[in-house]
Amino acid sequence: MALHKPYTDIPGTTIFDAEQSRKGYWLNQFCVSLMKAENRARFKADERAYLDEWPMTEEQKQAVLARDLNRCIAAGGNIYFLARIGATDGKSFQQMAGSMTGMSENEYRDMMVAGGRSIDGNRRIGEDGSAQPHRQPQGAHAAKSGGA
Amino acid sequence: MARITASVYTSHVPAIGAALDLGKTGEPYWQKVFAGYEFSKTWMKENRPDVIFLVYNDHATAFSLELIPTFAIGTAAEFQPADEGWGPRPVPVVKGHPELASHIAQSVIQDDFDLTIVNKMDVDHGLTVPLSLVCGQVNEWPCPVIPFAVNVVQYPVPSGRRCFALGQAIRRAVESYDEPLKVQIWGTGGMSHQLQGARAGLINREWDNAFLDRLVADPAQLSQMPHIDYVREAGSEGIELVMWLIARGAMADVAGGAAPRVAHRFYHVPASNTAVGHLILEDA
């Protein structure tokens, strides 16, 4: 019997379930290795060589090299694991979370200070909130460069 | 006999720890967060427990994908602050209470909750940020702490109903311990936040405040809420709030006693990506 997944109709949201975990096992375990200072140093010295020590898919490695957290999550990554990459780069959780929206760091910070992203229109795919697929990427830069 | 004296609930945002550790507490952005804990620090000094039973979630720190316990109780003599990638937080080592922890493990497991017993575990911001918020920046924590880690990282996570029932079992366990210890139980994490994808930054102020109301007034009914409601309404990481039901389940009224007194309530948006919620409930 397939896993029951009542959570696939939420826009811009990937639930880290057993299936995602299997897909992302080595990507996430690579992230765990970055909790040691000596591994962070080795990764920073030659990222590609360090990644090649892990049985990750090429897509997972490319997503890490590009620091594209949405791609990492699609490839089975979980944000609490992926945060080790951001920490290695000296980034905060806010910078990491914001990077997944298309907004600039300041735009995202301003949104949070103004009370955060509204739930209205963002509960289910098919509504018209800011997290809906047809409104990506977000932010002024994205709009100027031809985004929605 | 040991007894539960109070329950404390708070978010455990890592940026709060960073703000404390990097001396940013005077900045207006952070002052608004820390202002909500001024009362709590004074309250903690006046109501110092002998042990804190601290429910939190490990953020892929002590537990990688190699091992994912649903409920894990720390029975060691001490627990080191973890290096989560930024280096360990400069906070005191967490001293455990192996005797009480082992007693609770025995009682709760024989009460049909299958805990994982952990004798070696580093503790991450999920545990140390609540301690910093309520105890302040100290050279040593005011009392021993029993870490109790709940899996809310990989689905399936435990239901609110299960967490609430577990809290009741923890109360029974504490009350069957011979030494006359005052024990606080803390539930941490939440409130609304989402750290991933196009919906990152989600905050649901109305839902959060309704959760606080219901947690105080009708936790039994609140515990019936399915996961999907947390995720849809409070964000993918808002699921952490199931942990608050463990602490709430340990209060006297759930066991047929008097309703708790709300000593303190605070809510603020934002701390980094997150809505900060905080409650202190005292048993009569």
What does the alpha-carbon distance between residue B277 and residue B266 come to, in Å, rounded to a whole number? 6
Tell me the shortest Cα–Cα distance from B111 to chain A, in angstroms: 28
What does the alpha-carbon distance between residue A36 and residue A42 come to, in Å, rounded to a whole number? 10
Residue A146 has pLDDT above 60, yes or no: no
SS3 B117: strand
SS3 B44: helix
E strands, A4-44, in order: none
Q: Do B231 and A84 touch (CB under 8 A)?
A: no
Question: Which is nearest to A84 in space by CA: A69, A102, A105?
Answer: A69
What does the alpha-carbon distance between residue B144 and residue B94 come to, in Å, rounded to a whole number? 7
Phi then psi for residue A63, to 5 deg, are: -65, -40
* Structure confidence at residue A3 (pLDDT): 79
Query: Rounded mean pLDDT of B27-34?
Result: 96
Phi then psi for residue B272, to 5 deg, are: 60, -115
Per residue in B40-75, pLDDT (tens digit) is 999 999 999 999 999 999 999 999 999 999 999 999
Q: Please indicate whether residue B129 or residue A3 has the higher confidence score (pLDDT).
A: B129
Q: Left, alpha or beta for B166 (phi > 0: left; psi -120 to 50: alpha)? A: alpha
Query: Is-above-0.95 flag for pTM?
Result: yes
Tell me if A125 sits within 8 A of A115, measured CB to CB.
Answer: no
Nearest to B197 among A18, A73, A111 (CB): A73
User: How many independent structural domains does chain B possess?
Assistant: 1
Per residue in B124-155, pLDDT (tens digit) is 999 999 999 999 999 999 999 999 999 999 99
Q: Do B207 and A119 touch (CB under 8 A)?
A: yes
CATH of the domain at B73: 3.40.830.10
- Is the CATH number of domain A18-90 1.10.700.10? yes
What does the alpha-carbon distance between residue A95 and residue B14 come to, in Å, rounded to a whole number? 13
* Structure confidence at residue A141 (pLDDT): 79
* Structure confidence at residue B51 (pLDDT): 98
Question: What's chain B's Rg over C-alpha atoms?
Answer: 17
Per residue in B192-237, pLDDT (tens digit) is 999 999 999 999 999 999 999 999 999 999 999 999 999 999 999 9
* Enzyme catalytic residues of B: 125, 193
* Structure confidence at residue A135 (pLDDT): 95
Domain ranges (residues) in chain A:
18-90, 101-143
Tell me the shortest Cα–Cα distance from B251 to chain A, in angstroms: 31
